[in-house]
Amino acid sequence: MNDLHTKTAHELHGLLGKKAISATELTRALIERNQAAEPLVQAFITPTPEIALAEATRVDARLHAGEPVTPLAGVPLAYKDNICTAGVRTTCASKMLANFVPPYDATAVAKLKATGAVMLGKLNMDEFALGASTENSAFFPSRNPWDRNRVPGGSSGGAAAAVAAGEVVYALGSDTGGSVRQPAAFCGIVGLKPTYGAVSRYGVVSVASSLDQVGTLTRDVRDCALVLNAICGQDPLDSTSAPVEHPDYTALLGQPVTGWRIGIPKEYLGAELDPQVRAILENAVKVLTGLGAEVAECSLPHTEYSLPVYSLITAAEVSSNLARYDGVRFGLRVEEADLETMFRKTRAAGFGPEVKRRILLGTHILSAGYYEAYYLEALKVRTLIRRDFDQVFRRFDLLLSPTSPTVAFKFGERSTDTLETDRSGVYTLAANLAGIPAISVNGGFAAGLPVGVQFMGKPFAEPQLLQVAYAFEQATQGHRPLPDLGV
């Protein structure tokens, strides 16, 4: 079969179960796809074809012996390069960690290994997950498979581009303020940020610890549910993971959404919303109404403060978390005779301009005289943002919004204006601040470019979120088109 790279994980599981293909054949097909597509997309920092083939061989042995296998066994994936993988370098797309090889796996990686998943490598990103385009990678930018003159989004841009281009079947990323959902929207795939605490953060390089969350990037909603089944759950190695029971996230897929109350926050319909994106959202409302849902306008009055609150909290936590990169414990070290010069030159050489900007801002925010005025005030407004969601979820089952106010922008279009780049995530930030789950699915196309629509739910309402996303996806078939790379 020469179209294996176009298939979903659940379709491939069926083929593996019927022995129509082997895991090794599938893995070789994806490796060949990578060799053809990677010069055009540049999604990978570290390919691991040898590891993938070894893992596929083990799955084939189990299949040959007639042993039962999980839905993800033998299915190739890759990880955003801030998720630790034992024996495989984890760079965070930074010169600071260019040669860092973790001695352990992140919990999410360990769980997927236990399912028999096949790792094809580590994926490009904005340096230390700070950015929305992958233009901040210390190595190279990844390109959007739908238009290679445009960004794939960020910071999980390499992951979204790899899935959309058929280089991997699915990927894991991280979402601090929309870093899974925005690139998913730009690349026309499904991106889920689970509830804060639903998936262990152990082994994910910390940037903004109160916001970071492991997320999934898949070709359709059913794959999203299968991956979430594999990685969710409380972890004793992560004190922020929640002690809650996790259901089978595929159980409600295909169930009707008749009578569901879905709200559209009016604050997400401002002047910054591109008319073409608005048209896609309006069509989504028609689709949901046709499915029997009730859609009405609602309000999240403090959401207008999401961007400044996010910027302040992120900068403060970045400053604290990145203090460990000092040339002493691990990572880059610029040798100098005295300690202070070594610190200064190591951090100057190891960090890129965007990371430095956030560290400087965060250090200022946390300094004496400014901590109360900025950081504590931001935390208070964050509470108000969360309360807005609590209030609106008393009336509505879910919320609907655009994922991004525009389609993917061109390279260089916003790289000199960090605030303008951050605004591409203005509709995704609030979900991280409130800790609620949110999913982006492809809503359609504007001038040949994908447009994402976002559903947000109550804490730990992932089953309902996936249910409505699946119903919408099946009604629109927006997940079916794949970009033509000409290879």
Helices (H), 351-485: 353-365, 377-392, 418-422, 429-434, 462-476
Report the b/e string of 95-116 with b at 16+ CB within 10 A: bbbbebebeebbbbbbbbeebb
Q: Would you state the pLDDT for residue 416?
A: 59
Is 22 one of the catalytic residues? no
What does the pLDDT read at residue 422?
Answer: 65
pLDDT over threshold 90, residue 479: no
User: Residue 425's pLDDT band (boundaries 50, 70, 90)?
Assistant: confident
Measured CA to CA, the distance from residue 155 to residue 145 in angstroms comes to: 16
- The answer to whether residue 120 scores a pLDDT higher than 90 is yes
Question: Which of 22, 142, 174, 179 is the catalytic position?
Answer: 179
DSSP string, 218-248: ESSHHHHHHHHHHHBS--TT-TTS-------
Whether the per-residue pLDDT at 418 is higher than 70: the answer is no
* Mean model confidence pLDDT for the chain: 96
Distant-in-sequence, close-in-space partners of 407: CB < 8 Å, separation ≥ 6: 150, 186, 274, 276, 277, 446, 447, 449, 450, 451
User: Is 415 designated active site?
Assistant: no
pLDDT at 421: 59
Q: Which of 155, 200, 319, 401 is catalytic?
A: 155
Which residues does 319 contact at the CB level (< 8 Å), separation at least 6? 358, 359, 361, 362, 363, 365, 366
Which of the residues 7, 22, 80, 241 is marked catalytic? 80
Domains of the chain: 4-257+409-476 (3.90.1300.10), 261-302+381-392 (no CATH), 304-379 (no CATH)
120 vs 46: CA distance, rounded Å: 9
pLDDT digits (tens, 9 = 90+) for 210-224: 999 999 999 999 999
Sheet containing strand 261-265, strands side by side = 44-47, 118-123, 76-80, 170-174, 214-218, 190-193, 438-446, 449-456, 398-402, 261-265, 294-298
Give the model's confidence band at 162: pLDDT under 50 very low, under 70 low, under 90 confident, else very high: very high
Taking only the tens place, the pLDDT of each residue in 274-292 is: 999 999 999 999 999 999 9
- Determine the straight-line distance between the first and last CA of the chain, rounded to whole angstroms: 15
Please give the pLDDT value at position 271: 85
Q: What is the mean pLDDT of residues 174-179?
A: 98
For residue 415, pLDDT beyond 70: no
What local confidence, expressed as pLDDT, does residue 481 receive? 78
Average pLDDT of the residues in 458-482: 93
- Find, among 179, 246, 250, 173, the residue nearest to 460 by Cα: 246
pLDDT at 480 over 90: no
299 is catalytic: no
pTM tops 0.95: yes
Q: What percent of the chain has pLDDT over 70?
A: 97
